[in-house]
Structure 1
């Protein structure tokens, strides 16, 4: 009986400690989420709900010609981010961890882009990829006798170039996380590998990469969720163009809510994005769990 009472006291104390956080989480996350689901099933005039329309707003969003383009582009953003952006922080983290001198300088250098405000970063890269003769990249290429390229106005290059911008902005912070994980690896493993005649490639392959694998799985899922909600990069750099070649689902939702003031349709699209992310997260979790087993 004493053990049960003491357990209940500890349990109650734990809930009391978590209570402020749970209340804030419910107020700022769950309540807006449920309200958003309710809004998506009503018609509205600006902020005033009118009548219950069930799934009519969802059907309206799906029938919008821009929806298919935004849906495809969002998955393209996600895939290109995995091709371009996922391995860059791992490579940076490993390379800097293997360096002997100027580690602090390199850490500051790769983290510096994260200090720059996001919109400023997008504007800088917009001028860099300017398709005219005044574009920085075209000016550099002209020194080598290469004609000016279209860059962001070329629908085949738009999404990869936006992902390069996003990678330049965020890779440094992620690389520091990998470096922190690598620094926690026991030096005895590297010493034993060196004694056995292993070179730098063998150490990275058999010690470093297996050690960061679990962290990489978590960051991969977070990257998918983050890139799937890409918004201001294509909005500022291309405004969704050319011809909807870079429009994303979040950008389409922004147009519904803040350009057309069609808040129920924007809410419906946001619920659909949430459902897609839940499905992707579930598939990823099941796939990685099976691999671990």
Structure 2
């Protein structure tokens, strides 16, 4: 019998060592900026603290204090209202934009640049811009425009019923363009012979969109839906800058409540406890996302 050739262990070790050396900076940064703060938040949530220095172990008391806090239910409810309005306003808009630009014959590249342009504006600048636009009273841009056609000034962001939809509208204006480009990429991957066959059979634009385009991007839309829910669940600076959670907690989000605990009330253990609870929810949502993505790849 012929002896099998042994692979030199030195070459394998060298290759393995070089691979780890390439990944080492990323691993260190990830551990320092993600895992270390997460572990520290879990530890801090189980103690009382003076400033950021832990004192007495209290177990899950901080979690119970968060759940009993009068602002918690408002923040939790508003967060799911944000998600609901983002699905009503923000989910369909990128698909419609992608369909319209795909069906456009002339100036398609110009339209692509135009819809993506809001995405390159810094988020804080966008929020401040729309905050001035929706400002109540005679100084708001929208009220000034409405006064030109004889319509009285509206409260806009001071109206509890309109606050969340207007904030979601601001988010949609900023992010819809980048999402629509993803849909356009998915649409461009559809076999053009399907459209040619449909056109020969007399199908119009509506029929092509309904029976070819939408079914082809359904799996992509399902994935982007989960990502949108995860992103909106972490909404913070939009309500913080535009309304500061008002009026009367009508727009406060769960992430803004964490901000208030930590930087307004200086209750760091409660902020850590709520952060851990949010992390658990995001892990569950991420698990759903990976499950859907795995099914798509299979």
> TM exceeds 0.5?
yes
Q: Residues 290, 120 of structure 1: CA spacing in aligned structure 2 closer, same or farther, 3 A cutoff?
A: closer
1:215 equivalent in structure 2? 220
Please state if 1:51 is matched with 2:51. no
2:158 equivalent in structure 1? 153
Q: Deviations over 1:244-287 (max 9, x none)?
A: 00011111100111122221111101111122233445567779
Q: 255, 258, 265: which one pairs with 1:260?
A: 265
Please state if 1:269 is matched with 2:278. no
Shift of 1:219: 1.1
TM-score by length of 1: 0.90
Partner SS, residue 55 of structure 2: strand
Q: Deviations over 1:201-249 (max 9, x none)?
A: 1111121112211111111111111111111111111111000000111
Q: Residues 9, 207 of structure 1: CA spacing in aligned structure 2 closer, same or farther, 3 A cutoff?
A: farther
Question: Does the CA-based 8 Å contact 2:48-2:55 persist in structure 1?
Answer: yes
Q: Which runs of 5+ in 1 are unaligned?
A: none
Please state if 1:115 is matched with 2:130. no
Shift of 1:127: 1.3
Once structures 1 and 2 are overlaid, which stretch shifts more, 238-247 or 35-44? Answer: 35-44
CA distance in 1, matches of 2:19, 2:6: 18
Q: 61, 66, 69: which one pairs with 2:66?
A: 61
**Structure index of larger Rg:** 2
Partner SS, residue 156 of structure 1: helix
Q: Which runs of 5+ in 2 are unaligned?
A: none
Q: Residues 18, 265 of structure 1: CA spacing in aligned structure 2 closer, same or farther, 3 A cutoff?
A: same
Question: Does the CA-based 8 Å contact 2:223-2:289 persist in structure 1?
Answer: no
Question: Does the CA-based 8 Å contact 2:223-2:293 persist in structure 1?
Answer: no
Q: Residues 283, 186 of structure 1: CA spacing in aligned structure 2 closer, same or farther, 3 A cutoff?
A: closer
TM-score by length of 2: 0.89
How many residues were matched structurally? 292
1:180 equivalent in structure 2? 185
1:9-24 equivalent positions in 2, closer than 5 A: 9=12, 12=16, 16=20, 18=23, 20-24=25-29
Once structures 1 and 2 are overlaid, which stretch shifts more, 209-218 or 236-245? Answer: 209-218
Q: 103, 122, 135: which one pairs with 2:140?
A: 135
